[in-house]
Structure 1
Amino acid sequence: MRCEQWREILSAQLDGEVTADEQRNVGAHLENCAGCRAWLDAAAKVTRRARTQVVTSLPDLTEAILATAPPPRRRWRTLVAAAMPSRWWPATGARPSLVNGLRAALGLLGAVQLVLGLAQIGRAEVAEHLHANGQHLWHESAAWNVAVGAGFLFVALRRTSPSGLLPMLGAFVVTLVLLSVNDLVASQVAVERLVSHGFLVVGYLITVLLARSSRRPGEPGDRRQPERSRWRLRLDEVDEPAPLRLLPPYSAQARHSAHLGSAPARRRAAHGDDRNRDRRRVA
């Protein structure tokens, strides 16, 4: 073979396209041919340069991307946090102790409110002087006091945000304060009764502080995605057909042919029995 043909094999060797026999033969040729060895070294350098390139620095597009990006929306909590002094919000180390103190105070107020409600239920001598509707209103007021006390205890024992209780509790406290002021002006309520309402108002304010302290204004909210439901309505989805199976050769044909051959055999046997029966009748 001429060197041109060996060099074609060497080129294929650089591309990984030679067989074991060709690689063995071309190795024997390289031992005796200095020209092909030089050609292989030059071809290897060219191949290596063609397959690799020098890493160049890419342009920094950070400023361009930030310039074209839409500005972030500033919520009212962010604006309030920027306007309020930092001393109004406790430091990170002192914040857990403050929250624990608020929860302890709320638990104490809840116990007091619960005792007041139970004591109101037990004051039967006062309810006996009322008519039927008045007695029911007395019991309804006691039930509200018990419910509020139990709610305060529930919030104090749990570690989650009590934001869900604020709408109902806030409406109840505002209405109670307005009615209490009206009754105080009209001299229709005792001062000690108004003092008992003070526990409720203080407990409501502590609940508001606990709801606000669960997340500092300006911090991002909880953006966890809700869990997907396991129930799905499948209208456009089409069930995939069952995959095809390859049956082993000869076994299916043998059974099939045996099955086909058994029916004619049974028919011939039945026809032979009929002829034998007719012959016996003639005899």
Structure 2
Amino acid sequence: MNCESCRNSVSAVLDGEPPEFPEAEVDAHLETCAACRAFQAEAGEMTRYLRVRLVTPTPDLTAAVLARVPRRDRVRGALRGALAVTAVIQILLALAQMLGFVGVHGHGSHSGMTAHLFNESTAWNLALGVGMLWASWRDRTAGGVLPMLSAFVAALAGFSVHDLIVGAATVERVASHALLLVGLGLLFAVHRRGGGGPAPADAGHDGGSGTTGDGSASEPAPDQSPPHLRPTAHHRAA
């Protein structure tokens, strides 16, 4: 054994790794080589210094981080509460319309088709109120209600402008739809604050291609079983 092999073995033992040569041979060389004993002492002292050295003090950011979390939660809670109030008012208006307390003047004298359209409007108002109320409770579902309410408000705005021009509706009647516009704005804000997007995929995955961000092959998680593979072709027996 030469000095280089002895020092490699000494370093391996200090690092908790198996030595290159048996310890008996390393100890025998150390008894006859003062330079390797000095190397062992210096390496051991350096290893102890690195393992027990003082931790460099760092600024404590716990208070700053926790101070921002309640603020976001307060804003998010306020938006959800406002959306819930808007939804309840929308539901109450729909129920009042259903029970006949609110409606079109002279509705009873109109034709059956007009009555059916009135009932459809009542059902839509009730459904939109229930959808907004559900989104205020489960804010991650706001993204699903948002397209439906947006399309309804956009179509309703176009019809309202037309009805105002031709005199088929009054300004008061059109203004009653402002509640849906408020609900749409609150729903959009809740969707943005609530993180309504889908759950993020694992970092490094590329659409299930089996590679990580640096292009290397990814390994399946230990608790994840491989997917069931189906045959790509079926051969009929002769």
Question: Quick one: structure 1 residues 152 and 13, their matched pair in 2 at CA, closer, same or farther if it must change by over 3 Å?
Answer: closer
Matches for 1:212-251 after TM superposition, within 5 Å = 212-215=192-195, 222-225=199-202, 232-235=228-231
Q: Distance in 1 between matches of 2:225 and 2:161?
A: 50
Q: Which residue of the partner structure matches residue 189 of structure 1?
A: 169
Q: Distance in 2 between matches of 1:167 and 1:107?
A: 18
| Among 139, 155, 176, the residue aligned to 2:156 | 176
Deviation at 1:221, TM superposition (A): 8.2
Q: Which residue of the partner structure matches residue 114 of structure 1?
A: 91
Q: Which residue of the partner structure matches residue 147 of structure 2?
A: 167
User: Residue 73 of structure 2 aligns to a residue in which SS?
Assistant: helix
Cα offsets for 1:135-186 (capped at 9, x unmatched): 1111100000000111111112224351121111111111111211221122
Deviation at 1:41, TM superposition (A): 4.5
Kindly name which structure, 1 or 2, has the bigger radius of gyration based on alpha carbons: 1
Deviation at 1:232, TM superposition (A): 2.4
Greater percentage in helix: 1
Deviation at 1:192, TM superposition (A): 2.5
TM-score, length basis structure 2: 0.55
User: Residue 109 of structure 2 aligns to a residue in which SS?
Assistant: coil
Q: Distance in 2 between matches of 1:102 and 1:163?
A: 15
* Unaligned ranges ≥5, structure 1: 1-11, 17-39, 56-90, 237-283
Work out the number of aligned pairs and report it.
160
Question: Quick one: structure 1 residues 197 and 232, their matched pair in 2 at CA, closer, same or farther if it must change by over 3 Å?
Answer: same
Cα offsets for 1:251-277 (capped at 9, x unmatched): xxxxxxxxxxxxxxxxxxxxxxxxxxx
Letter in 2 for 1:96: D
* Unaligned ranges ≥5, structure 2: 1-21, 44-67, 203-207, 209-223, 233-238
Q: Distance in 1 between matches of 2:198 and 2:127?
A: 31
User: Residue 94 of structure 1 aligns to a residue in which SS?
Assistant: helix
Question: Quick one: structure 1 residues 150 and 15, their matched pair in 2 at CA, closer, same or farther if it must change by over 3 Å?
Answer: same
Cα offsets for 1:5-57 (capped at 9, x unmatched): xxxxxxx99469xxxxxxxxxxxxxxxxxxxxxxx9557657x96xx9998xx
Whose relative contact order is higher, 1 or 2, with alpha carbons under 8 Å and at least 6 apart?
1
Matches for 1:88-167 after TM superposition, within 5 Å = 92-123=69-100, 126-160=106-140, 162-167=142-147
8 A contact 2:140–2:195 mirrored in 1: no
Q: Which residue of the partner structure matches residue 63 of structure 2?
A: none
Q: Distance in 1 between matches of 2:225 and 2:131?
A: 31
Q: Distance in 2 between matches of 1:163 and 1:115?
A: 24
Q: Distance in 2 between matches of 1:230 and 1:190?
A: 64
Letter in 2 for 1:179: F
8 A contact 1:107–1:152 mirrored in 2: yes
Q: Which residue of the partner structure matches residue 266 of structure 1?
A: none
Question: Quick one: structure 1 residues 221 and 108, their matched pair in 2 at CA, closer, same or farther if it must change by over 3 Å?
Answer: closer
Identity %: 30
Q: Distance in 2 between matches of 1:43 and 1:99?
A: 69
User: Residue 162 of structure 1 aligns to a residue in which SS?
Assistant: helix
Q: Distance in 2 between matches of 1:153 and 1:187?
A: 34
Deviation at 1:201, TM superposition (A): 0.6
